[in-house]
Structure 1
Amino acid sequence: MKKLITIMLIGTFSLSYAQSNYYNDYRRSITDVNWQNVISELVLSATQANQIYALNDRYRDYNSWNRVYVNHPDRWRNDRYVELERILGRDKYIKFKNRYYKGQNPVAVYNRNKNNDKRYKHMGKKSKVYKYKHGNGHHKK
């Protein structure tokens, strides 16, 4: 019984941890862009600007976001950028994408970062195999 409870708690914790990572990506997709600059650079109408601000304010906190994306937390990427493309129009969306995502699909950018845990990135350079293969190790004669 104790093992079952422990497994359930671990599963719940890891699911909520994964969910919060997706939510953090969602928030960064809003905060990493200076939307006032986007609006002025792309010469957007007042209606388009208001729609972008409404899109950015759609989920003000984790709970409101989680109610929508609890079963498919990675779906936010596609939903957000399809909506953004609808607001901007195809041509202005491509300009936005080229400026802020170097021409890459923003969905792919956030998907690529999903499994790229920076906490462990430095570990490869410290391993003996890495040093041997890359010539960074000190070989004693």
Structure 2
Amino acid sequence: MKKLIIAVMLIGTFGLSNAQTDYYSDYQRSITDLNWQSVISDLVLSSTQANQIYALNDRYRDYNTWDRAYNNNPDRWRTDRYGELERIMGREKYMKFKNTYYKGQNPVAVYNRNKNNDKRYKHMDRKMKMHKPKHGNGHH
């Protein structure tokens, strides 16, 4: 029995750390997928705004620093990052950024979609459907 418990704990830990690295990969892509010099010149951002964006992009230089910030809630990096970009750019320029570089979609949703399409989460949908009552509240 102890071996089973240890095996389950190891699998759970490995599964969680693997999911964490997926979130970190999305975080990294949010930085590397865009040419930030072009973003800054296209939106006519000030040198102060440019420096703030570069500092934001350099905030978590490796997985360990990112993990210290988001270990308990890896999902939060998206709202933190894009909220900060909106603050730096201002609402109007952030909307132009969103429309130009994310085709009008919220970047948070773009990276969240990857998680929602992840096969590891598909079993949750089946469980939810199995537990729903078939006849509403039970009255006929």
Same fold (TM over 0.5): yes
1:34-53 superposed matches below 5 A: 34-53=35-54
User: How far did residue 117 of structure 1 move?
Assistant: 4.1
Aligned to 2:126: none
Matches of 1:8 and 1:58, distance apart in 2: 32
The aligned amino acid for 1:16 is: S
TM-score, normalised by the number of residues in structure 2? 0.82
Aligned amino acid, residue 106 of structure 1:
P
Give me the whole-angstrom Cα distance separating, in 2, the residues matched to 1:27 and 1:114.
15
Distance 2:98 2:41 in 1: 15
2:42 aligned with 1:59: no
SS in 2 for 1:49: helix
Measure how far apart 1:113 and its partner are.
1.1
> For 1:103, what is the secondary structure of its paired residue?
coil
Q: Which residue is 1:132 aligned to? A: none
Distance 2:108 2:51 in 1: 23
Give the aligned CA root-mean-square deviation in angstroms. Answer: 1.0
Cα distance in 1 for residues equivalent to 2:8 and 2:116 = 23
Q: Gaps (5+ residues) in structure 2?
A: 120-140
- 1 CA distance for matches of 2:37 and 2:118? 31
Matched, 1:17 2:15: no
Shift of 1:116: 2.3
Q: Deviation string for 1:49-108 (max 9, x for gaps)? A: 000000000000000000010010000000000000000000100000001110011111
CA distance in 1 between partners of 2:91 and 2:23 (Å): 26
Could you list the structure 1 runs, at least 4 aligned residues long, displaced by more than 3 angstroms after superposition: none
CA distance in 1, matches of 2:3, 2:45: 59
- Partners of 2:116 and 2:3 in 1: CA distance: 31
Calculate percent identity across the aligned residue pairs: 78
CA deviation digits over 1:115-139, x for unaligned, max 9? 3249xxxxxxxxxxxxxxxxxxxxx
Compute the TM-score of the two structures, normalised by the length of structure 1: 0.81
Work out the CA distance in 2 between the residues paired with 1:48 and 1:57.
14
